[in-house]
Amino acid sequence: MESGLPMLNCLLQHTLRSLCSCSDSSSNSSKWVYAVFWRILPRNYPPPKWDYGGSALDRSKGNKRNWILVWEDGFCDFYECEQARSGYIKGTFGADIFFKMSHEVYNYGEGLLGKVAADNSHRWIFRDTANEGDPNFISSWNASTEPQPRAWEIQFQSGIQTIAIISVREGIIQLGSFDKVCVCLPSFFLQISARLAILTPSLAICTPS
């Protein structure tokens, strides 16, 4: 398995890059400028015994606080960021702000990202408050009583208009765009889940002898 990890990491990076380069008619051909995969990991090794479900870990058992979301990999289109700095957006989003995300850690089941991961759901967050009269507005994917991560504030201030978080196997995909991207069709979520399914194998944790 260890010999296959570099290849999996390469494929994950390629997949995240492809999410930022594909054109989707359901999102008016808007371009995602970055994509990040947050992986769900045990807070401590080995995890408590009640979290074992056969040979794999079962997050439905035990305390959700035994799990966290950490940065696994990310891709950002820095050329697009440079265009935004000098073009129509005058944004300041770039490598410094993007890589600051890698230092963030979120509690599974808590906060906006943690709740989406635990509920296997999706959220679309706009820089400007969405209007319920907008045909692209879907309340269940936009309304949330959970506070936004503090790291998002500087992203919105630096030109990001839309942040999407999508639950996938073993984690969360976070997407950011300089455009106001409408909520995509269900096929978009299925496409992302299918791409990530073969790249995010379940963690194999050995029981201590």
Confidence (pLDDT) at 44: 79
Burial class (CB in 10 A: 0-12, 13-18, 19+), 80: buried
Burial of 119 (0-12, 13-18, 19+ CB in 10 A): exposed
Beta strands in the chain (DSSP E): 32-42, 52-53, 56-57, 67-76, 105-107, 122-126, 162-168, 171-177
Residue ranges for the chain with pLDDT beneath 70? 1-9, 22-30, 45-64, 87-90, 129-145, 184-187, 195-209
Q: Which domains does the chain have, with CATH numbers?
A: 2-197 (3.30.450.40)
pTM of the model: 0.76
Q: Under a CB-based contact definition with an 8 Å cutoff, are residues 91 and 127 in contact?
A: no
3-state secondary structure of 18: helix
Say if residues 127 and 181 touch (Cβ distance below 8 Å): no
Confidence (pLDDT) at 164: 93
Residue 207: the pLDDT is 32
What is the DSSP-derived secondary structure letter of residue 60?
T
